[in-house]
């Protein structure tokens, strides 16, 4: 069986949408761009402007689901895979169920591979511009693999990464491959690093057209994220600093407010998408408004906010929506959710690395700069030592980045390696407690059953 619908027919030929005015259908049915501008248009293809699913949030300590609920429908109304995640079941997806995180990530990787493989042979362009387009595609591919390897594999551990099963590496546009194998975690990270190292110098100083296209702060920011996940805090800090040197813009949340408590869309007036200058790399959630009105904040997450002064809580959570009074704070920003990268993440990475290997005061400087744009009359945080600084930074990371793709799941996986941060997550469903222990194999998402069926020698994740 060919590469499977592994890539969800993802690896079908390039779509003939508005593109059919510039792409020719070749005899074998493959659509081949020719001019450099064709590849540039391909980078603007709608599917490449999206990113990973948010369903892994149901496994985390950020989410609370009542059993039944008038607003969200509650646990009983969730699709079965999401119920399985929330209850920490071993099996998640059935044979007939689709795992959008896996399928659409590989879909996008295929398109990036088309650009990476062929752009340098394109006509009617300079070498410099073609290298820039290739660099943008390399960043996109690295972004997808960094998500995939952290969702479907053991968290990076230098002592085991060379043998831990990662995810299949698809590095060209050839879809006629059979019985795919999983590269090791180390091999996947090596490829991510190679892509980003090649891309970073060739990226434009500022994004082309808008932040849906990668630029230098994104290339170095992605390296910072990669090294953070690897536990190489020195290199993570170096790259976060370079990213911030290229773009350190923060947006004050103080001018914005709840416009109409009865509305869903338009409830708040916070700029989103390319109108928010903090969004340095934009990838939208598969569902336009991401996780909005899908789940409530856990009691633990809600308690981290100053609920009277923190604009992130006042704007993005609510206990009243659409004429309904709610018992718990609902995550309901109803703005275009950016699943890729922002300047606040770079402040947080720099702060965490300073707390771990550098200056506690510098760590607090990064955090307080962010908080000064979020909390009314912010009282600057002070750390007694580096350990205290790290606790404060990690709490701020949760306040700043909740309900965002796989972010919290990955953070839990990496922090579980440190005894002082390891935790057991408890979800209650209709009076029954379900527990997810630190370093449980259930933190690793299962390889979709249909992928294993078409690739019989692929190693499954035993949960």
Cα Rg of the chain (Å, integer): 22
Is the alpha carbon torsion for 150, 155, 156, 161 positive or negative?
A: negative
Domains by residue range for the chain, with CATH: 34-278+289-452 (1.25.40.390)
State how far Cα 152 lies from the chain centre.
14
What is the distance between the alpha carbons of residues 393 and 400, in angstroms, rounded to a whole number? 10
* pLDDT less than 70: residues of the chain: 1-32
Q: Which helix (H) or strand (E) holds 216?
A: helix 216-230
- Tokens (6 digits) for 438: 């630190």
pLDDT of residue 340: 96
pTM beyond 0.75: the answer is: yes
What is the distance between the alpha carbons of residues 122 and 36, in angstroms, rounded to a whole number? 5
DSSP line for 122-156: -BSS-HHHHHHHHHHHHHHHHHHHHHHHHHSSPPP
What is the distance between the alpha carbons of residues 34 and 120, in angstroms, rounded to a whole number? 10
Whole-number Cα distances in Å, 462 to 67, 97, 231, 371, 459: 28, 19, 25, 41, 9
pLDDT of residue 119: 96
pLDDT of residue 334: 96
Query: Among 450, 452, 404, 444, which residue's Cα sits nearest to residue 152?
Result: 444
pLDDT of residue 2: 37
- Across-strand partners of 427? 434
Reported as a single tens digit per residue, the pLDDT across 291-301 is 999 999 999 99
Nearby residues of 311 by Cβ (< 8 Å), 6 or more positions away:
253, 254, 256, 374, 375, 376
Reported as a single tens digit per residue, the pLDDT across 243-267 is 999 999 999 999 999 999 999 999 9
Decide if 67 contacts 429 (C-beta within 8 A): yes
What is the distance between the alpha carbons of residues 417 and 443, in angstroms, rounded to a whole number? 13
Decide if 149 contacts 447 (C-beta within 8 A): no
Query: Among 443, 88, 285, 436, which residue's Cα sits nearest to residue 75?
Result: 88
pLDDT of residue 25: 24
Q: Which helix (H) or strand (E) holds 390?
A: helix 386-400
């Amino acid at each position: 069986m060919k590469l499977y619908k592994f890539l969800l027919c993802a690896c079908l030929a390039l779509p003939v949408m508005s593109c059919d005015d510039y792409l020719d259908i070749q005899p074998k049915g493959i659509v081949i761009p020719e001019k450099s501008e064709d590849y540039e248009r391909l980078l603007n293809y709608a599917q490449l402007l999206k990113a990973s699913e948010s369903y892994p949030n149901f496994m985390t300590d950020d989410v609370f689901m009542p059993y039944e609920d008038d607003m969200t429908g509650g646990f009983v109304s969730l699709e079965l895979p999401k119920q399985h995640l929330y209850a920490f079941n071993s099996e998640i997806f059935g044979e007939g169920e689709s795992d959008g995180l896996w399928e659409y990530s590989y879909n996008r990787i295929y398109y990036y591979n088309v650009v990476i493989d062929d752009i340098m042979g394109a006509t009617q362009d300079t070498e410099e511009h073609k290298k820039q387009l290739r660099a943008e595609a390399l960043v996109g591919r690295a972004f997808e693999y960094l998500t995939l390897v952290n969702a479907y594999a053991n968290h990076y551990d230098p002592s085991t990464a060379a043998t831990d099963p990662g995810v299949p590496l698809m590095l060209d546009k050839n879809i006629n491959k059979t019985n795919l194998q999983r590269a090791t975690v180390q091999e996947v990270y090596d490829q991510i690093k190679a892509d980003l190292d090649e891309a970073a110098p060739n990226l434009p100083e500022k994004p082309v057209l808008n932040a849906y296209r990668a630029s230098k702060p994104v290339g170095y920011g992605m390296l910072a994220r990669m090294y953070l996940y690897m536990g190489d805090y020195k290199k993570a800090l170096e790259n976060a600093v370079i990213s911030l040197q290229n773009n350190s813009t923060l947006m004050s949340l103080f001018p914005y407010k709840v416009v109409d408590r009865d509305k869903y869309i338009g409830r708040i007036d916070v700029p989103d998408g390319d109108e928010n200058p903090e969004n340095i790399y934009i990838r939208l959630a598969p569902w336009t408004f991401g996780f909005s009105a899908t789940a409530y904040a856990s009691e633990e997450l809600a308690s981290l906010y100053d609920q009277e002064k923190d604009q992130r809580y006042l704007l993005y959570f609510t206990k009243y929506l659409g004429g309904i009074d709610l018992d718990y704070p609902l995550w309901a920003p109803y703005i275009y959710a950016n699943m890729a990268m922002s300047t606040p993440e770079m402040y947080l990475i720099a702060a965490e690395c300073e707390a771990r290997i550098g200056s506690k005061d510098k760590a607090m400087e990064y955090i307080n700069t962010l908080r000064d744009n979020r909390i009314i009359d912010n009282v600057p945080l002070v750390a007694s030592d580096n350990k205290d600084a790290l606790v404060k930074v990690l709490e701020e990371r949760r306040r700043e980045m909740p309900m965002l793709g796989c972010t919290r799941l990955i953070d839990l996986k990496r922090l579980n390696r440190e005894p002082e941060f390891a935790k057991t997550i408890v979800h209650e469903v209709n009076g029954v407690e379900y527990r997810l222990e630190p370093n449980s194999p259930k933190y690793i998402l299962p390889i979709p059953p249909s992928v294993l069926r078409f690739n019989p020698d692929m190693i499954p994740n035993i949960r």
